[in-house]
């Protein structure tokens, strides 16, 4: 059961057709929320597993195009919260230099629609750890950890064609600027590489994977942990700002080989040198801020089970 203050609360999940969005819808229904599930494609595109019939009564599915302002406001009507995760349009699925403009425009439209929806109290904006970790390492001490206060350098991202990082960084900065200007209560979840379903080697997050590994900033997140983090920061009235979200860091050769086998199952891995096999990378991304708020939330989940 959700805490009493959240029971029967109406929230919107957009885009609900992605793996994160559809799982969020299922978990929110389990916790007693009334859910507006907004999908870009056809409303039949929403695939939910194991949603009981009585819970389906609390679910309403909307077609909401992030480039069609009216469709966004229709989906938000009467909702007190929004969980927003960008899904690339079906006619433009690849992350390239043009995706930046697409994702930024979508973020602007969605946050502006929230500002004009009187019932919205809180927005959880899904961003990425790639909006935190990319910069020229020569410009700062490698000894310093990276956390929510850090932003990826947009010029660095553009120079090295890190389109996923550039899109996430500029879209999140756009959302924050508008949220502050329009006095919207917003928090962001900056997730690591999502491991479910298994990512393919072509996932745009993985551009620069070797450099992330060497710098101690290659982090991954399980779907359930990512979903719980979104709900946790929404329900926690004291949550604020950005939250780096991951539950595993790739910091040794064994981890790196395991991930490589998931990404390229049919490619043989070369045997490591002695130095590679025994090298431990210093983790440089900190998720302490999220871990603090997750402690109470996870305790409550244990009590429910």
Catalytic residues: 168
* Structure token pair of residue 268: 């043989």
* Structure token pair of residue 216: 């101690």
Three-state SS annotation for the chain = CCCHHHCCCEEEEECCCCHHHHHHHHHHHHCCCEEEEEECCCHHHCCCCCCCHHHHCCEEEEECCCCCHHHHHHHHCCCCEEEECCCCCCCCCCCCCCHHHHHHHHHHHHHHHHHCCCCCCEEEEEEECHHHHCCCHHHCCCCCCECCCCCCCHHHHHHCCCHHHHHHHHHHHHHHHHHHHCCCCEEEEEECEECCCCCCCCCHHHCCHHHHHHHCCCEEECHHHHHHHHHHHHHCCCCCEEEEECCEECCEHHHHHHHHHHHCCCCCCCCCCHHHHHCECCCCECCHHHHHHHHHHHHHHHHHC
Tell me whether residue 141 is exposed, middle or buried, using C-beta atoms within 10 angstroms of its C-beta: 0 to 12, 13 to 18, 19 or more. exposed
């Amino acid at each position: 059961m959700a805490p009493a203050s959240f029971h029967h609360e109406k929230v919107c999940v957009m885009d609900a057709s992605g793996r994160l969005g559809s799982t969020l819808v299922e978990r929110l229904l389990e916790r007693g929320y009334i859910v507006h599930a907004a999908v870009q494609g056809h409303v039949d595109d929403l695939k939910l597993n194991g949603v009981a019939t009585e819970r389906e009564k609390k679910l309403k599915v909307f077609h909401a195009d992030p480039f069609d302002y009216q469709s966004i406001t229709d989906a938000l009507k009467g909702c007190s919260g929004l969980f927003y995760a960008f899904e690339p349009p079906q006619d433009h699925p690849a992350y390239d230099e043009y995706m930046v403009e697409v994702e930024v425009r979508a973020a602007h439209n969605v946050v502006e629609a929230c500002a004009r929806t009187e019932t919205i109290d809180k927005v959880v904006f899904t961003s990425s750890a790639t909006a935190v970790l990319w910069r020229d390492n020569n410009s700062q001490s490698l000894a310093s950890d990276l956390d929510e206060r850090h932003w990826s350098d947009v010029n660095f991202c553009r120079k090295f064609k890190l389109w996923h990082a550039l899109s996430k960084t500029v879209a999140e900065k756009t959302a924050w600027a508008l949220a502050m200007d329009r006095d919207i209560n917003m928090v962001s979840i900056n997730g690591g590489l999502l491991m479910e379903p298994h990512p393919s080697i072509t996932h745009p997050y993985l551009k620069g994977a070797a450099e992330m590994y060497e710098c101690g900033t290659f982090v991954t997140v399980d779907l359930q942990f990512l979903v719980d983090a979104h709900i946790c920061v929404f329900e926690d009235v004291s949550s604020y700002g950005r939250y780096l979200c991951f539950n595993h860091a790739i910091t040794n050769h064994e981890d790196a080989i395991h991930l490589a086998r998931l990404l390229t199952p049919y490619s043989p891995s070369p045997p490591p040198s002695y130095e590679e096999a025994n090298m431990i990378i210093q983790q440089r991304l900190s998720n302490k801020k999220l871990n603090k708020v997750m402690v109470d939330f996870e305790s409550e989940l244990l009590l429910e089970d």
